[in-house]
Structure 1
Amino acid sequence: MNSIGIIANPASGKDIRRLVSHATVIDNNEKINIVERIILGAQQNGVKKIYMMPDPYNMGYRVEDKLKTSGELRCEIEVFDFYKEDTVEDTYKAVRLMNEKKVGCIVTLGGDGTNRAVAKDIKEIPMISISTGTNNVYPDMIEGTIAGIAAAVVASHKFDKEVYSNRDKIIEISSAGQLKDIALIDAVISRDIFVGSRAIWKVEDIEKIFVARSHPASIGFSSVVGGKTIITEDDDFGAYVSIDKNAPKIRIPMAAGIVLPIGTSEPVILNFGEKYEMTTYCRGTIALDGEREIEFHQDQTFTFKISRNGPWHVDVKKAIEVGQKNGFFKVSE
């Protein structure tokens, strides 16, 4: 049976960066509307079952009730029944269950942080990412119906990996020989410690920025590197820079509506297999895709490397093009 999973993060787009910038807020009612369109697009193209992560806003149940009431629901919706912690642990649990159910595709609604959480456990399931966060580089602005149609093409298992891009790059952060965590887009070393919000946004506390991709048209820390060099998702390398107050400054879009002059060193390329080792001289944190995740103390050693061990990321347009060329959307008489 063709099935897909949906991870809709009710907390995406609500961190401190929304308060200190001019970011668009996609509320949970709009997320429900997007999920409805994903399901309608998917079910009309062969998806028979939808698995959803439970959440405190009960988005899955609200969507099911609304589509049943309107008479539009043709597939089965199952909201996972597990104890909700209302933290990122819910995402981890849902993705693991989707792995067990062998869903054909996972569609996420969130920002870089949400997708990073999904990527940590997704294994071989392809992913479609819809942007509903604050500073987004990894997910795209995709209409829900189109995302649902593309998910159906992938979940049909008729086209293998021709509808995917390469595996995504990640930044792997290790300490004492053990993998500590990953980032999809950027890892930022900061002298700031865990105080208040987990979202990082104070440029004056930053020391180094590592990126898997960078572009001046991005928003956030990857655009700091993007101001000096462009690194695409297809390049088999990443890079890092050091913040340098004495270097010539470049105007960088750090948040929605906020452009700041920032000076950095020249980017140092990190090819696959190469490692950067850092020993800390003070307390601080490492922020992963915009959120402070790793707290460190003086004299700890961390290793950073770029690899292509990330998730399979669906190219939505390519998936639909492949379906069109192979008659996937023809209606049987």
Structure 2
Amino acid sequence: MTARVGLVVNPAAGRDIRRLTGGASVSNNYAKRRTAECVLAGVGVVEGAEVLAMPDASGIAERILDSAPDGVETGLLDFAPAGGPRDTRRAAERFREAADAVVVLGGDGTNRDAGTSVGDVPLVSVSTGTNNVVPTAVDGTVAGMAAAVVADGAADAKAVSYRHGTAVAEVDGRTGRETVTGLATVGVVDEAFVGTRALLDSESLLGGVASRAAPGEIGVSGAAGAVHRVEPDESGGVGIRFAPAGEASRRVRAVTVPGVVSELGVAECRRLDAEESFAFEVETAVVSADGERELEVRDAEIAVRPADDGPRIVDVDAALAAAAEEGFFVGE
């Protein structure tokens, strides 16, 4: 059986306004292409492996596949790219049947788009975005090797991956009922418009829910993690409600956007079970997902809850260790 690895490279990841307003690192298309070329080299550890890539409007995928090493079969998914998140979701839907593992180059938003559409196909997430709570800073070659041994069955997918949670907001407002889903966080922001989508002003944060939380993470999950730590594979999450720092009895210091450490007043912060709601009532606000503003709301009740229904994320070290235990890397 051929080991098939899907590849998603988001050209827009790591290029928003936070490069001008904060210290977010830049990940241009050349850097993404070089990382993806390393992924293909890593996939080559499995003889006869195949890589199937998401097409993109910038043509990055075609250039990546042109430089594939000998022994790695390649192909493009057959659809015309539109140049937005819909491309990632369409590719992930195809990968449900066409891939045994998927490597995603992007940030939290790209992984959310892939993870909510790919079903149970395990993801290897490589950090090339702005908000990088979920994806890790792993060498592309190593990521490709991990995806290949999972796709090949040399490492058992369920044993070396974990189910990541999500955060889900149900909005009942003037325009009706709507849903916003985040992979790591959903936030409620005291602003009127989506605008550039990037969250820039920590003082506008009203609160939110994180499916995972640690003080070393960025945004809502980092602030919540200063009070309650939740591991990525733990059930439930944390709900946090902010208050003006000068009026709050408790304050936390957290990285609110890359390059910015803020002091935030905390009115409430508590551990939530899976599907337990954390409520907000607003006249005007924006609901954000994974650090990006998504939905403008008016006169709304917002119920945000953690859910245990996210994608399977591969533990790269565990995958390679499992393959090594089986003698995969040793030849006579």
Q: Same fold (TM over 0.5)?
A: yes
Asked if structure 2 preserves the Cα contact closer than 8 Å seen for 1:154 and 1:163, the reply is: no
Measure the CA separation in 2 of the matches of 1:216 and 1:249: 13
CA RMSD of aligned residues (A): 1.9
Asked if structure 1 preserves the Cα contact closer than 8 Å seen for 2:169 and 2:303, the reply is: yes
Asked if structure 1 preserves the Cα contact closer than 8 Å seen for 2:239 and 2:270, the reply is: yes
Measure the CA separation in 2 of the matches of 1:98 and 1:131: 20
Question: By how many angstroms is 1:229 displaced?
Answer: 2.3
Asked if structure 1 preserves the Cα contact closer than 8 Å seen for 2:254 and 2:261, the reply is: yes
Asked if structure 2 preserves the Cα contact closer than 8 Å seen for 1:4 and 1:107, the reply is: yes
Which amino acid counterpart does residue 237 of structure 1 have in structure 2? G
The runs of 4+ residues in structure 1 deviating greater than 6 Å are 176-179
Measure the CA separation in 2 of the matches of 1:318 and 1:30: 26
Q: Secondary structure at the match of 1:219?
A: coil
Q: Secondary structure at the match of 1:265?
A: strand
Q: 1:86 maps to what in 2?
A: 83
Which amino acid counterpart does residue 212 of structure 2 have in structure 1? R
Measure the CA separation in 1 of the matches of 2:193 and 2:54: 28
Q: 2:225 maps to what in 1?
A: 226
Question: By how many angstroms is 1:212 displaced?
Answer: 1.0
Question: By how many angstroms is 1:232 displaced?
Answer: 1.4
Asked if structure 2 preserves the Cα contact closer than 8 Å seen for 1:106 and 1:125, the reply is: yes
Match of 1:110 among 71, 83, 106: 106
Q: 1:253 maps to what in 2?
A: 255
Measure the CA separation in 1 of the matches of 2:104 and 2:157: 19
Matches for 1:129-144 after TM superposition, within 5 Å: 129-144=125-140
Question: By how many angstroms is 1:295 displaced?
Answer: 2.2
Are 2:214 and 1:212 equivalent residues in the alignment? Answer: no
Measure the CA separation in 2 of the matches of 1:187 and 1:210: 6
Are the structure 2 counterparts of residues 81 and 326 from structure 1 closer, same or farther at C-alpha, using a change threshold of 3 Å? same
Are 2:165 and 1:164 equivalent residues in the alignment? Answer: no
More strand by share: 2
Measure the CA separation in 2 of the matches of 1:144 and 1:163: 22
Which amino acid counterpart does residue 109 of structure 2 have in structure 1? G
Measure the CA separation in 2 of the matches of 1:179 and 1:272: 20
Q: Secondary structure at the match of 2:67?
A: helix
Which amino acid counterpart does residue 76 of structure 2 have in structure 1? V
Which amino acid counterpart does residue 53 of structure 1 have in structure 2? M
Measure the CA separation in 2 of the matches of 1:46 and 1:96: 26
Measure the CA separation in 2 of the matches of 1:163 and 1:26: 32
Measure the CA separation in 2 of the matches of 1:251 and 1:64: 44
Percent of aligned positions with the same letter in both sequences?
31
Q: Secondary structure at the match of 1:82?
A: coil
Measure the CA separation in 1 of the matches of 2:168 and 2:282: 21
Asked if structure 1 preserves the Cα contact closer than 8 Å seen for 2:92 and 2:114, the reply is: yes
Match of 1:265 among 239, 264, 267: 267
**CA deviation vs aligned residue, 1:36-59 (integer Å, no higher than 9, x gap):** 111111123235211111112211
**Structure 2 alignment gaps of length 5 or more:** none
